[in-house]
């Protein structure tokens, strides 16, 4: 029953993003033939782009990466779209009233289950939904690519999707913790989203290794190295944030 | 041996920042009784109920339900397993239908009484496919009562169950409560500030004021022990302060001297006899008078 309630509270925040992501993936796949053709015929001057600054370097990185189908999918989907949307949807799933999903908090608390049980159920379901949101559209790439005469490796899709999930889970944990502090849905959503934006700006401006590089598994794309340290660190931070949320709810007066 | 009290609260205190919601509340609710929990708005009724159900942690003191500690996480779950609760706001899941919330709640209680569920659905004219969020306040209250009654609870905690209801709906709710209690052994802890409703259904009363119990006991015992003594004089009533222990309040108005006595009326009358009043009347007191005297004085 706890699962049923958690599902009722989050189903639209899960189903709609899932559809959005699959449509997004399908659009990217269909765009590849014309985009790939343009990229192949493009004459670039790497030195000029590098000299022009951060934007030029980003354009060069994009063109270099997208010369192959694997690179195109990694850059457009795993590095850009999925990185941003997985965080947005994870934060959305974790925001709001975690005990009742809206009205009915006292009714929830009057039922013979502990607060920890309610919260754990909601956290596990939310994380499972986040995993599906990262995994299913990425698997769809493997399935749909032959439609345009391309192939995409299942292993690549799995590794990138799981990396995206593990880092997005950290932002899920942050929004989850914030939802135990603020009663409304919007403050946790905006604050966790804001933190993600700040991190992404710092990461891109300073060209440092941060959560977004771990999320897109750029090291795996370029030389096959899974970013274990970043993944473990993300998982530890997620666990700490969820534990903080549980402590906060346990001591909360309703 | 089983604890004779369904609810046992001792020196319970709860502070929210600077505000003392409960200031050493002590009360007992015997098993099988219908206990009216009376107090003004903000007296601490809802806070007490939330402590009993583990929704709020006490700052100090003890609250036990069926001998189980309300502030212990494990015990609190066991307390809620045996308790039906209706909140003042009739806080339910708006997104569910009546049927969904009934089936949802039933799964938490092995002793769920399907026959009562069916009966109250008919009695309260609740349509299974209506959305909870679309129900009127009265119908919502009836649904909340159905969910509390059908779980086979040993204790019903009802926080202002009739608030916001019209007189007809209020009567219907109270009748449902009385017939439910008549049918099975259940303790009821009924919070309200509607004295007539408490008089209608309760056999015990606890009056709370500013976080403390100021009156507690059987309703009949209270009615029997409280008396209003009224003395009428030929001239202005004398300005006296009787020393008898049972006097709760004294009021002097023109030729009339009135005293509310909690006990020992004979002692009071003996002390007042030398004043040679023209007439002396000893009158019974309503719960409303006891309540007003209890919550208007200084404690």
Domain ranges of chain A: 2-250
**For the CA atoms of B122, B125, B130, B132, what is the dihedral angle to 10 degrees?**
-100
Task: Check residues B172 and B69 and name the one with the higher pLDDT.
Answer: B69
Alpha helices, DSSP H only, in chain B?
Answer: 45-52, 73-81, 98-106, 114-123, 137-149, 167-183, 195-201, 219-225, 265-272, 287-296
Task: Express each pLDDT in B61-81 by its tens digit.
Answer: 999 999 999 999 999 999 999
Does the distance separating the beta carbons of B108 and A106 come in below 8 Å?
no
Q: What is the mean pLDDT of residues B185-197?
A: 90
Q: A15 CA to chain B: closest CA distance, Å?
A: 17
Alpha-carbon distance B134 to B141, whole Å? 13
Q: A112 CA to chain B: closest CA distance, Å?
A: 5
Alpha-carbon distance A89 to A172, whole Å? 9
Among chain B residues, the shortest Cα distance to A2 is held by: B104
Q: B11: which 2 tokens?
A: 């020196």
Alpha-carbon distance A101 to B95, whole Å? 9
Chain B positions in Cβ-Cβ contact with residue A1 (cut-off 8 Å): 104, 107-108
Does the distance separating the beta carbons of B54 and A109 come in below 8 Å?
yes
Which of B57, B85, B133 is opposite residue A110, by nearest beta carbon? B85
Calculate ∠ Cα A143-A14-A165, nearest 5°: 65
Does the distance separating the beta carbons of A114 and B80 come in below 8 Å?
no
Task: Check residues A173 and A210 and name the one with the higher pLDDT.
Answer: A173
Alpha-carbon distance A159 to A162, whole Å? 5
Q: A118: which 2 tokens?
A: 């309610």
Q: What is the mean pLDDT of residues A131-147?
A: 97
Which of A102, A109, A114 is opposite residue B53, by nearest beta carbon? A109
pLDDT of residue A126: 97
Which of B74, B80, B107 is opposite residue A110, by nearest beta carbon? B80
Q: A10 CA to chain B: closest CA distance, Å?
A: 12
Q: Which of A1, A104, A183 to mutate to test the interface with B (most CBs of B within 10 A)?
A: A104
- A55-59, B55-59, B89-93: least confident range: A55-59
Alpha helices, DSSP H only, in A66-185?
Answer: 69-73, 82-94, 105-110, 115-144, 154-179
Does the distance separating the beta carbons of B91 and A104 come in below 8 Å?
yes
Q: A136 CA to chain B: closest CA distance, Å?
A: 28
Alpha-carbon distance B176 to A181, whole Å? 39
SS3 B185: coil
Confidence class of residue A109 from pLDDT cuts 50, 70 and 90? very high
Alpha-carbon distance B288 to B74, whole Å? 40
Task: Check residues A201 and B9 and name the one with the higher pLDDT.
Answer: B9
Neighbours of A90 (CB within 10 A): 32
Consecutive H or E run containing A20: helix A2-41
pLDDT of residue B299: 43
Q: What is the mean pLDDT of residues A109-114?
A: 95
Residue B131 DSSP label = B
pLDDT of residue A228: 94
B73 touches chain A (CB under 8 A): yes
The whole model's pTM is what? 0.85
Which of A8, A105, A112 is opposite residue B95, by nearest beta carbon? A8
Task: Express each pLDDT in A218-239 by its tens digit.
Answer: 999 999 999 999 999 999 999 9
Q: Which of B88, B93, B94, B159 to mutate to test the interface with A (most CBs of A within 10 A)?
A: B93
Chain B positions in Cβ-Cβ contact with residue A253 (cut-off 8 Å): 16, 50, 55-57
Residue B97 DSSP label = B
Within chain A, how many helices (H) and strands (E) appear? 12, 0
Which residues have a Cβ under 8 Å from the Cβ of B103 and sit 6 or more positions away?
A: none
pLDDT of residue B166: 84
Task: Check residues A13 and B266 and name the one with the higher pLDDT.
Answer: A13
Distances (CA, A) of B224 to A167, A234, B202, B211: 71, 70, 16, 26
B150 touches chain A (CB under 8 A): no
Q: What is the mean pLDDT of residues B170-186?
A: 87
Alpha-carbon distance A165 to A59, whole Å? 26
A-B CB pairs within 8 A amount to 70
Alpha-carbon distance A115 to B140, whole Å? 25
Task: Check residues B107 and A38 and name the one with the higher pLDDT.
Answer: B107
pLDDT of residue A108: 94
Per-chain mean pLDDT for chain A? 91
Consecutive H or E run containing B11: strand B5-16
Task: Express each pLDDT in B153-168 by its tens digit.
Answer: 999 999 999 887 888 8
Among chain B residues, the shortest Cα distance to A5 is held by: B104
Alpha-carbon distance B219 to A19, whole Å? 63
ipTM of the complex: 0.86
Q: A24: which 2 tokens?
A: 């997004």
CA atoms within 13 A on the CB side of B239: 0
With a cut of 60, say whether residue A200 has pLDDT above it.
yes
- A32-41, A117-126, B83-92: least confident range: A32-41
B91 touches chain A (CB under 8 A): yes
Does the distance separating the beta carbons of A1 and B104 come in below 8 Å?
yes
């Amino acid at each position: 029953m706890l699962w049923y309630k958690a599902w009722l509270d989050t189903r639209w925040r899960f189903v709609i993003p899932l559809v959005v992501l699959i449509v997004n993936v399908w659009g990217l796949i269909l765009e590849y033939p014309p985009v790939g053709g343009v990229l192949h015929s493009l004459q670039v001057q790497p030195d000029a782009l590098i000299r022009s600054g951060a934007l030029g370097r980003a354009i060069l990185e994009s063109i270099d990466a997208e010369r192959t189908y694997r690179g195109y999918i990694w850059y457009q989907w795993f590095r850009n779209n999925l990185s941003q949307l997985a965080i947005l949807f994870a934060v959305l799933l974790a925001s709001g009233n975690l005990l009742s999903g809206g009205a009915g908090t006292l009714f929830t608390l009057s039922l013979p289950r502990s607060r920890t049980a309610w919260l754990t159920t909601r956290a596990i379901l939310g994380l499972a939904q986040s995993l599906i949101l990262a995994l299913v559209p990425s698997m769809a790439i493997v399935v749909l690519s032959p439609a345009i005469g391309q192939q995409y490796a299942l292993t690549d899709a799995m590794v990138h999707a799981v990396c995206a999930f593990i880092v997005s889970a950290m932002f899920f944990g942050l929004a989850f913790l914030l939802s135990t502090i603020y009663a409304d849905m919007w403050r946790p959503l905006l604050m966790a989203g804001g933190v993600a934006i700040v991190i992404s700006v710092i990461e891109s401006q300073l060209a440092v290794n941060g959560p977004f590089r771990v999320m897109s598994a750029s090291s795996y794309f370029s030389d096959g190295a899974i970013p274990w340290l970043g993944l473990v660190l993300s998982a530890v931070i997620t666990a700490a944030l969820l534990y903080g949320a549980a402590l906060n709810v346990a001591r909360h007066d309703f | 041996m089983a604890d004779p009290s369904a609810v046992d609260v001792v020196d319970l205190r709860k502070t929210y920042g600077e505000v003392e919601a409960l200031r050493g509340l002590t009360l007992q609710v015997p098993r099988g009784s219908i206990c009216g929990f009376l107090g003004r708005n903000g007296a601490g009724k809802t806070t007490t109920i939330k402590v009993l159900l583990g929704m709020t942690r006490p700052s100090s003191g003890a609250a036990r339900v069926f001998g189980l500690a309300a502030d212990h996480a494990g015990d609190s779950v066991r307390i809620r397993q045996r308790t039906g609760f209706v909140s003042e706001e009739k806080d339910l899941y708006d997104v569910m239908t009546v049927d969904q919330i009934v089936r949802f709640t039933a799964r938490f209680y092995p002793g769920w009484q399907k026959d009562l569920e069916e009966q109250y659905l008919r009695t309260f004219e609740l349509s299974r496919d209506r959305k909870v969020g679309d129900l009127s306040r009265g119908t919502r209250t009836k649904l909340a009562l159905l969910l509390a009654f059908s779980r086979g609870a040993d204790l019903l905690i009802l926080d202002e169950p009739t608030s916001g209801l019209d007189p007809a709906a209020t009567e219907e709710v109270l009748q449902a409560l009385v017939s439910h209690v008549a049918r099975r052994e259940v303790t009821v802890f009924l919070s309200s500030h509607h004295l007539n409703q408490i008089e209608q259904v309760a056999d015990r009363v606890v009056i709370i004021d500013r976080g403390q119990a100021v009156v507690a006991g059987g309703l009949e015992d209270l009615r029997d022990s409280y008396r209003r003594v009224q003395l009428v004089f030929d001239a202005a009533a004398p300005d006296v302060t009787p020393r008898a222990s049972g006097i709760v309040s004294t009021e002097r108005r023109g030729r009339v001297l009135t005293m509310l006595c909690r006990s020992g009326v004979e002692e009071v009358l003996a002390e007042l006899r030398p004043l040679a009043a023209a007439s002396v009347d000893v009158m019974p007191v309503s719960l409303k008078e006891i309540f007003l005297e209890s919550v208007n004085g200084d404690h």
